[in-house]
Amino acid sequence: MRKMRTFKCMICIILLASFFQLCISFKEDKITELPGQPPVSFQQFSGYVTVDEKNKKFLFYYFVEAQIDPSTKPLVLWLNGGPGCSSLGVGALSENGPFRPSGDVLVRNECSWNREANMLYLESPIGVGFSYSADFSSYHGVSDKITARDNLMFLRKWFVKFPQYINTSLFMTGESYAGHYIPQLAELMLEVNKKEKLFNLKGIAIGNPVLEFATDLNSRAEYFWSHGLISDNTYELFTSACNYSRYVSEYYRGSSVSPICYRVMNLVSKETSRFVDKYDVTLDVCISSVLSQSKALLTPQQVSESVDVCVEDKTVNYLNRRDVQKALHARLVGVSKWLVCSEVLDYELLDIEIPTIKIVGKLVEAGLPVLVYSGDQDSVIPLTGSRRLVHGLAQNLRLNTTTPYRVWFAGMQVGGWTQVYGDILTFATIRGAAHEAPFSQPERSLVLFKAFLGGRDLPETF
């Protein structure tokens, strides 16, 4: 009997120690205040989760609770693409987070997605932003498979830090190469759930995503030509002599680019001009950024008042401040400065050829709602390729159209167009939006996000 009591006491001590450690970790990650931020009522957290003890791999996250009643709101994981670009710097500070940098201060983003959800931004994979490894070999040969595994481990351990969110409805969103990250992570989560029921995953939304290499990349030619960015002659060469998927494949394989592809790409680059933002062909460029790349003399330029096209420069300046890094509990390891997209990460770039549209199909068959949306001014991953892929997937899965192709509204303006298949697979465009849709069309993106979380159709009238 004494041994039994002793054993129970030991268990209690272990549990209390674990709880105490959890409280310390939770407290250490809480952000008191970011330098220059306006007053807010919601809580913010940031810090590290160890995803690989052996190789000392640490993923950095930034978490903002919902502005009102966070306990009743869903949890949303946001991933930026690249591969190798920051969810903190791009997603949180340039797109849909609560603040945007402006000079030395932060200003409120009135269309922040934490109006509707608890937002979790993850800098992934290792080597991106503030995420790091003590073993520098971890930055080489990073693949989709490694990234999905690390992100899954991150979520497992993050829920240990924040157990109050374990049963919360979980959604995953992101853009660009997140068209690889998110479906692959969702597939792993569904596999885990067969044994553990750990993740309360309710849906995924991916913007301007890479889903099928050739279809997505080769749609650029038609987009450039239809928007007047290239000549008839260059369009013909771009579609017959050397399409974009062939050029990328040659380039990524390390072999010399064929003379015809070299010639075609030079023509495309010359005609589209470096002074046009390929991520939004109608948006002005940040002149200081474009000219600094060629070390040219800078001159003041007028830019749009509604969209800060120099927000990336401001974000870089802000996140490289020592006081900001201290407030975020962040550190730079193996790099001298924080960058929007990693220069130390060596990703298996040929993984881009993995057709994740097939994984999206498996998710839909498993009953998981999927939204594919496109900012319609993006020439990098144009809407035409995404629309073709979603429609083809619906046909393969024999999903009937449940919402015919139609406009949707944000306020009293057309927000974009949408079509729904089988009440589970949705395609939508965001009118006037860039590759990073919430950056250039924050109001319309928020309307789409809110409808996605609520499982509702996009507004048909205003």
Question: Counting beta carbons within 10 angstroms of the beta carbon of residue 60, is it exposed (0 to 12), middle (13 to 18) or buried (19 or more)?
Answer: buried
DSSP state, 96?
I
| Pair of tokens at residue 142 | 């990073």
In whole angstroms, what is the distance from residue 213 CA to residue 136 CA? 30
Strands 132-133 and 57-64: what pairing? antiparallel
Altogether, the residues listed in the chain come to a count of 462
227 labelled catalytic? no
Question: Counting beta carbons within 10 angstroms of the beta carbon of residue 41, is it exposed (0 to 12), middle (13 to 18) or buried (19 or more)?
Answer: exposed
Catalytic residue (choose from 180, 376, 435, 445) = 435
* Cβ-contact 436, 279 below 8 angstroms: yes
25 labelled catalytic? no
The secondary element (H helix, E strand) that includes residue 121 is strand 118-123
**Beta-carbon contacts of residue 445 (< 8 Å; ≥ 6 apart):** 95, 96, 111, 430, 433, 437, 438
Catalytic residue (choose from 176, 249, 374, 445) = 176
Query: Residue 62 forms beta bridges with which residues?
Result: 46, 121
Nearest of 82, 75, 83, 115 to residue 96 by alpha carbon: 115
SS3 305: coil
Scan for tokens 């590759």, then name that residue: 435
Catalytic residue (choose from 277, 280, 351, 378) = 378
> CA-CA-CA-CA torsion for 225, 229, 234, 237, nearest 10 degrees?
-50
378 labelled catalytic? yes
Q: Which residues are catalytic?
A: 176, 378, 435
